[in-house]
Amino acid sequence: MRITACSVLGLLIVLGGAFAQQKSTGDEAALKAIELKWDAANVKGDTATLTTIFADTFISTNAEGKTRTKAEVLAEVRSGDIKYETSKVDDMKVYLYGDAAVVNGRWAGKFTEKGKPTTTTTERFTDTYVRQNGQWKCVASQGSTIK
């Protein structure tokens, strides 16, 4: 009887570990998909999609140290003050911490800001996510220019 109980307990531990790994793999894929969706929304000027990605308390810090809120980022895209010609992330790594996650990667893009075109910019970014009501929401984004 004792051997059976230990066997069942061992099996439950193994299955629990497999489930946790499966969930973290799913979360990692979901977060990478959100980053790609964010890129596509930038190029399309799709503020509806950006609204679903950003938490209400979203804060963005650019390479120059300027911060912008969710409302400010959306207003810039909506008004055309910022227009993305290209936007592409790669080299992403996802770090999970329960209902929080950090995505670090490389971003390259070309855009026009207030009518002034930029050259292609490459940055290293760190995006912080929190799971809210079962959905991943980006609460903070920071980019540093790669020179």
Copy the structure tokens of residue 100: 């929080």
- Model confidence at 72, in pLDDT bands (50, 70, 90)? very high
Quick one: pLDDT at residue 15?
40
101, β-bridge pairs: 96, 129
Q: Please give the radius of gyration of the chain, using alpha carbons only, rounded to the nearest integer.
A: 19
CATH code at 89? 3.10.450.50
What lies within 8 Å, CB to CB, of 107 at 6+ separation is 87, 88, 89, 122, 123, 124, 125, 143
Quick one: pLDDT at residue 25?
83
User: Tens digits of per-residue pLDDT, 37-61?
Assistant: 999 999 999 999 999 999 999 999 9
Quick one: pLDDT at residue 51?
98
**3-state DSSP of 20-49:** HHHHHHHHHHHHHHHHHHHHHHHHHCCHHH
Mean per-residue pLDDT over the chain, rounded: 88
Burial 32-52 (b: 16+ CB within 10 A, else e): bebbeebbebbeeeeeebbee
Higher pLDDT, 107 or 11: 107
Q: What's the CA gap between 110 and 13, in Å, rounded?
A: 49
Name the strand (E) or helix (H) holding 82: strand 82-97
Question: How many structural domains comprise the chain?
Answer: 1
Maximum C-alpha span of the chain: 77
Q: What's the CA gap between 76 and 110, in Å, rounded?
A: 16
User: Tens digits of per-residue pLDDT, 14-36?
Assistant: 444 444 444 568 999 999 999 99
Quick one: pLDDT at residue 52?
98
Q: Would the pTM of this model clear 0.85, i.e. be above it?
A: no
User: Tens digits of per-residue pLDDT, 88-142?
Assistant: 999 999 999 999 999 999 999 999 999 999 888 999 999 999 999 999 999 999 9
Domain that holds residue 128: 2-145
